[in-house]
Structure 1
Amino acid sequence: MTCILAKIFTRPTMIRVKGHLVKLSICALSLSSCASLKKTTASKKATTPTTTESAANRRVEFLDGISTKRNTYTPKTEKKDVSISKNITRSSANLEMAQGWQFKYAQLLDVAVEQVLNQRLYSFIEDWWGTPYRLGGKTKSGIDCSGFVNTLMNTVFAMGLSGNSADLFTQVKRMGVKDLHEGDLVFFRIHHRRISHVGIYLENDKFVHASTSNGVIISDLKEPYWKKYYAGGGRL
């Protein structure tokens, strides 16, 4: 009897124990699955770049057309020839050697210094600059327009020239303003039907002459006064 009771009471207990073992096994399996899932998730997070890192590793386009990746671009140093001897032009060399009178007359003529080259001509103009006008005069105390032109052409260009403005007009080969060069003559009819004034062409529509108001001076053919009375130009 005792054995029977023992069997009766022992069997359910074993069943309950077995049930607990089953439950424990299921929990153990669940925990191991959770652990593996966490490991997988962690590994995925570790291998997946963040938004910031992804943006940093994108290719960046610069304005000058150079594309590179972060921390991978090494700029190349270009060798440039900066030697002075190879960068000096002829005009800059001429400018370095230019003298004071060249700068002065380049400014008066509104041209580059390199274009003012005839030192004999501009020395003569400088020497006679401001000499007052005097009709029939031929000296530095007073000189008229034809007297000044004759003196300059004979001294600077060795022309052996003589005569008044009207006479000189008949001796030249007529030329348009665009074709005039340094040393050509320019003529005017001022309040007369005949030629009454003469000057010597320089550069850039500028000419030198003995004016009645300012004496020996440089004027511009484009000035309204001279443009109004301009009669033509020519070459001897």
Structure 2
Amino acid sequence: MYFSENFARPLMIRVKGHLVKLSICALSLSSCASLKKTTSGKKNNTPSTTVSTQQKRVEFIDGISTHHSRTNTSKPVEKRDISISRNITRNSANLEAAQSWQFKYAQLLDVAVEDISNQRLYNFIEEWWGTPYRLGGKTKSGIDCSGFVNTLMNTVYQLGLSGNSADLYTQVKRKSIKELQEGDLVFFKIHHRRISHVGIYLENDKFVHASTSAGVIISDLNEPYWKKYFAGGGRL
């Protein structure tokens, strides 16, 4: 079949018009789809951002306590031990009132200053300190152990004692070393089977006596020499 030129030209124009319309529709459809994707993407992203932000906020809040507990700032009332306070005050006063001789003998006996209180006793020891040993002596030029004990006990404690160390041993009531107190007598057996030396107990296992080597001096019952020959103690 043959078409005339007048008939074919309008037909081509109509076909081109339809093609243009179809192209425009296709473009519009594709743009709408892209718009929907973009819009839907924005909608989906927004909740996730909000959730992550909320999670961060929740974690931040969990990490910090928002509830402030009320603390009791008032200090508890301290119950002071009045007796201890009084003892401290009394001891401090005694320490301030202590004299030089008390400090000296507290150091020699290794005891507290307030434990040195018998002034008559320690004044006597101070006066006789270093007096040389002399067998049978009774003066500051020389004195033996029993002479020193008799003189001290008669002067300080007003006791009429006499006799040598063995005689004194028979006059005392026996006491263990743990029971000894200031003024008790301590006895030794040195190079003999009988009592041959005597001294006067003070404090903390210390005793004063007239030794053959150093004269009137303070010694320790725990020293090996005196511990070896220690025979016992007693009280008049």
Same fold (TM over 0.5): yes
What is the deviation of 1:176? 1.4
1:97 match: 94
What CA deviation, in whole Å up to 9, does each residue of 1:2-31 have, x standing for no partner? 876654333332222121111111111111
1:66 paired residue number = none
Q: Which moved more, 1:220-229 or 1:100-109?
A: 100-109
Q: CA deviation at 1:75?
A: 7.5
Q: Which amino acid aligns with 2:94?
A: M
Which residue of structure 2 lines up, in the alignment, with residue 57 of structure 1?
63
The structure having more radius of gyration, on CA atoms, is 2
* Partner of residue 47, structure 1: 54
Letter in 1 for 2:75: K
Residue of structure 1 equivalent to 2:37: 30
Paired residues of 1:207 and 1:219 also in contact (CA < 8 A)? yes
Residue 40 and residue 77 in structure 1: after superposition, are their counterparts in 2 closer, same or farther (change >3 A)?
A: same
| Structure 1 position 88, deviation (Å) | 4.3
- The Cα of 1:202 is off from its aligned counterpart by 1.0
**CA deviation map 1:172-212 (0-9, x unaligned):** 01111111111110111211222211100111211100111
Q: For 2:77 and 2:153, locate their aligned partners in 1 and report how far apart those are by CA, in whole Å.
A: 49
Q: What aligned pairs does 1:136-151 form with structure 2 within 5 A after superposition?
A: 136-151=136-151
Give the CA deviation at 1:108: 1.5
> How many Å separate the matches in 1 of 2:86 and 2:67?
43
- Paired with 2:15 and 2:190, the residues of 1 have a C-alpha distance of 154
Residue 93 of structure 1, CA deviation = 4.1
Quote the residue 2:189 is aligned against: 189
Q: Structure 2: how far apart are the matches of 1:161 and 1:11?
A: 155
Q: Where do residues 77-226 of structure 1 align in structure 2 (5 Å cutoff)?
A: 79=75, 88=85, 90=87, 93-95=90-92, 97-98=94-95, 99=98, 100-226=100-226
Does residue 13 (structure 1) correspond to residue 25 (structure 2)? The answer is no
* Structure 2 residues without counterparts, runs of 5 or longer: 1-6
Identity of aligned residues (%): 55
Worse-matched range after superposition: 72-81 or 89-98: 72-81
Cα distance in structure 2, aligned partners of 1:45 and 1:233: 92
Alpha-carbon offset, residue 166 of structure 1 = 1.4
- Residues 132 and 142, structure 1, Cα contact 8 Å, conserved in 2: yes
- Conserved 8 A contact 1:199-1:209: yes
Relative to structure 1, is the Cα distance of residues 71 and 221 closer, same or farther in structure 2, using a 3 angstrom cutoff? same
1:71 is displaced (CA, Å) by 11
What secondary structure does 2:174 align onto?
A: strand
Q: Aligned-pair RMSD on alpha carbons?
A: 3.2
Q: For 1:207-234, what per-residue CA distance to the aligned partner results, in whole angstroms no more than 9, with x for missing partners? A: 1001111111111111111122212111
Decide whether the 8 Å contact of 1:57 with 1:70 is kept in 2.
Answer: no
Question: In 2, distance between residues paired with 1:80 and 1:113?
Answer: 36
Q: Deviations over 1:144-167 (max 9, x none)?
A: 111111111112112222221111
SS of residue paired to 1:179: coil
Once residues 148 and 77 of structure 1 are traced to their aligned partners in structure 2, the CA distance between those partners, rounded to angstroms, is 68
Displacement of 1:170 in angstroms is: 0.9
CA shift in 2, pair 1:200/1:80, >3 Å:
farther
Alpha-carbon distance between aligned partners in 2 of 1:81 and 1:103, rounded to the nearest angstrom: 39
* Change over 3 Å in CA distance of 1:57–1:73 after alignment to 2: farther
Q: Which amino acid aligns with 1:40?
A: P
Aligned length: 223
Q: Distance between the aligned counterparts of 1:204 and 1:231, measured in 2? A: 18
Instruction: Give the direction of change, closer, same or farther, for the CA distance of 1:40–1:92 in structure 2 (3 Å limit).
Output: same
Determine if contact 1:131/1:141 at 8 Å carries over to the other structure: yes
Q: Secondary structure at the match of 2:181?
A: coil
